Structure formats: C-alpha cells, structure tokens
Amino acid sequence: MDKKETGLLKQGQITLFVILALFIIASIIIIFSIMKGPSAGEGAEPYVSPGDDPKLYIQKCARDATREVFNEIIVHGGFRTPKNYVKKSDVPIELICYTGSNYQLCNNVHPVLEREMEKEMEGYVKPILEKCFQEVKASKSGLDYQEGELNFGIVILPGQIAININKDISYGRNEQRISLDNFDTKINSPAFDFVRISKDIINQEVSCNCMAETCNANLARLNSDFRDYTITKPVYSGNGEEIYVIKERISGKEFNFAIRNCVRFP
C-alpha cells in the first residue's frame, strides 16, 4: 500500500470517528430530552413521580400551579375574575383606582393588592395541592400511610413568591417509616415589583389638583427609576378609563391594571 492510499485510509478512519462521536452526542441529547419529558411551557421542570420522591413531587406541583395562576392574574390586574373592570381587546382588567364622578380624584379600591393577589393564588393552588397529596397517598397504597391537615399559604416577597406548605405525612411498614412535614418552596417572580410600581403610579395620579391640571403619572421618571421594567399607558377609553402596562424586560411578563381618575372632558 503506497503513502497516498495510507493517507486516504487514515483520513477515512478519522471521518468515521468524527461521525461516530457526533452520533453518540446526539443520542445522549435525545435520551436526556426523553427523560425530562415533554415541555409544559415556561417554568417546565423534569417529571417527578409521587411514589419515588413525595417531597419533590409536592413542591413541583405547587410551583407549577403557582406559575400558572400568577400568569393568569397579572393579565387582569391581579384577579382571576375581575369585578369592576374595563376591557382591552375583550380582556377584562380590574380598575385599581376608581372614581365614578368627573373632576374628582380616584380612590385606591385595592390598597392591599399584594394580599388580594396572594389570596387569588391560594384559592387556585390549594385544591391542586390537595389532589397532589392524594396522588402521593395512592402511590403508597401497599404501605401504612398516615396524614394530617394541610396548612398552606402564599407570600409575595421581593423577587419571588414563597409557597409555604406544612402537612404531616408518614408511611412505611412495621418499624421502618418515613415522615415528612415541610414542603416549602418558591418561584422567581416580579409580583412584588408589579405591586410596588402600580402603587407609585396611583400615588402620582392622585397627587394633583384635579380642577386645575391633568392628572397623570410621570412615565419618563418611572421608567428611569425602574430600569428593569417598561411602564406604558397605551389605552385611553372614551369614558375616562386608562390602562397601565408594567412589563418586566427579562421575562416579558406584563401586569395590566386600569384606573379612572379625574376625568376632565372638554
């Protein structure tokens, strides 16, 4: 075999090894993708079995449900079903500050908005959480399973939503038992800033002389003060309602809320 043939053989072997290495890498990626399960959108996490790891299963259950309801309520001003609202593209948005009269400053009808949002999320997440605990119980059907009452709450904190879950469960056979009671977890969230910025906007709206000037929040200053967010007021209705939109730049999440303040018709 001459040098030319030897070189071609070596080149062919190298090419074969490269192809084989690429095939192995692709196979590993596919296997990991299958193990993680199908994506459920934003916040999707690897599947956890209720039987294999009850604590991780309950925590994931709580996080998934909290993300889902949070993404729902921020569209409507902090509520799943707004009661006093205006519509933007047929989407109802709660009026946070409202006056039914013209030439009059609005009243903040949701002064503890963060607590109301917490209750909205709790009402949605709790039944889902109870169902997940029942799935854990069903997975331990062959064992002696005992459980206590569920104590549950959601708290909006800077940069996150804390999900506090306490419930005594134990399972096992004879003297070998596993006991769990704390399932606390959390998710990253701009909820705290959404509420804080909305309060700043309302405070600016009502800090004016209604009869002498047009009452508006200073959007340029707000966008300068809160650089991680863009604050806009894109919607003006014929009846004096206005809709503010607070958008987190990184995540793209938007908090919409409406006001009707100091309507000065021509």
Q: With respect to residue 12, please indicate whether it lies within any of the assigned structural domains.
A: no
- Picking from 255, 259, 249, the residue whose alpha carbon sits closest to that of residue 79 is 255
Q: What amino acid is encoded at 189 in this protein?
A: S
Instruction: Tell me what pLDDT residue 246 has.
Output: 97
> Which domain does 206 fall in, by range?
54-260
- pTM value is 0.80
The number of distinct structural domains making up the chain is 1
CA 48 to chain centroid: 20
- Indicate the angle between helix axes 113-139 and 191-206, nearest 10 degrees: 160
Instruction: Tell me what pLDDT residue 21 has.
Output: 58
Q: With respect to residue 60, please indicate whether it lies within any of the assigned structural domains.
A: yes
Query: What is the H or E stretch that residue 92 is in?
Result: strand 91-98
Residues of the chain with pLDDT under 50: 3-4, 8, 29-41
Kind of pairing between the strands at 151-157 and 144-147: unpaired
Q: With respect to residue 45, please indicate whether it lies within any of the assigned structural domains.
A: no
Query: What is the H or E stretch that residue 245 is in?
Result: strand 241-248
Q: With respect to residue 27, please indicate whether it lies within any of the assigned structural domains.
A: no
Q: With respect to residue 140, please indicate whether it lies within any of the assigned structural domains.
A: yes
Q: With respect to residue 237, please indicate whether it lies within any of the assigned structural domains.
A: yes
Q: With respect to residue 18, please indicate whether it lies within any of the assigned structural domains.
A: no
Q: With respect to residue 266, please indicate whether it lies within any of the assigned structural domains.
A: no
